[in-house]
Amino acid sequence: MTTSEEARKTPSTDTPSTDAPVSAAGSGAGIRPVDGPAVEAAVRSLLAAVGEDPTREGLLGTPDRVARMYAEILSGAQQDPGHHLEVVFSEGHHEMVVVRDIAFESMCEHHMMPFMGKAHVAYVPNGHIVGLSKIARVVEGFARRLQVQERLTSQIADLLMDRLEPQGVGVVLEATHTCMTMRGVRKPGSAMVTSAVRGTFKSCAETRNEWMSFLRG
């Protein structure tokens, strides 16, 4: 990507904007900001409910720490990941672009326990490309909210398909879920793999095979 490439829209900074409007298409529209005082009160009640003393020295600051933690790890619900795709560049590259091993962390909405792993994202441009870091920011924006892995995978694919208008998009997520490794069935080492394919990735076996070959390394 060179400086002579033309941006289709007004350039934006790499810093996520907390004031950006939230897209209604599966991007957390209507989600209120984390209410810190309410979270702190709830944590105190939870500590007491599990038999702890919220006033003991080691737990005095826990409600505040937990409130700040949730504000950080759920911050994506207040942002529109599409904001990162506002700047695209005209480029006559029509072959596959793959970004592998994008690390992410998210919070399972069923047990409110973390799941984490890697995202592999590919698209076939149709006259426009996007900066490499923007794809990682899209993954992060959707991951930093209460999620299920299946929805997270589809949201990434749908947004890229909608904003970049490529020939096709493919997304694979591999993740370990602590709700399965720390509780319940307790199977450390297990991983969940989900995929979403759009456009030529869905209609053309040759495109899918090329994509899979990149993922296998």
The CATH number covering residue 129 comes to 3.30.1130.10
Mean pLDDT computed over 37-50: 98
- Residue 11 counted as domain residue: no
pLDDT band at 22 (very low <50, low <70, confident <90, very high): very low
pLDDT at 19: 37
Which residue in the list 78, 84, 108, 147 is annotated as catalytic? Answer: 108
d(CA 122, CA 197): 10
pLDDT band at 38 (very low <50, low <70, confident <90, very high): very high
- Residue 43 counted as domain residue: yes
Q: Which of 73, 102, 124 is the last residue of a domain?
A: 73
Same domain, 198 and 142: yes
Which residue in the list 40, 174, 179, 210 is annotated as catalytic? Answer: 179
- In which domain, by residue range, is 150 found? 87-216
Which residue in the list 78, 79, 147, 149 is annotated as catalytic? Answer: 149
Query: Which pTM was predicted?
Result: 0.85
Same domain, 175 and 136: yes
Mind listing the pLDDT tens digit for each residue in 115-139? Answer: 999 999 999 999 999 999 999 999 9
pLDDT band at 20 (very low <50, low <70, confident <90, very high): very low
pLDDT band at 28 (very low <50, low <70, confident <90, very high): low
Q: Is the pLDDT of residue 112 over 90?
A: yes
| Domain total in the chain | 2
Asked if 37 contacts 125 with a C-beta cutoff of 8 angstroms, the reply is no
Q: What share of the chain is helix, strand, coil (3-state, %, to 5)?
A: 40, 25, 40
d(CA 98, CA 216): 12
- Residue 103 counted as domain residue: yes
**Annotation marks residue 179 as catalytic:** yes
Mean pLDDT computed over 52-80: 96
**Annotation marks residue 120 as catalytic:** no
Same domain, 69 and 91: no
Mean pLDDT computed over 158-176: 98
**Annotation marks residue 149 as catalytic:** yes
- Residue 203 counted as domain residue: yes
State phi, psi for 145 to the nearest 5 degrees: -170, 170
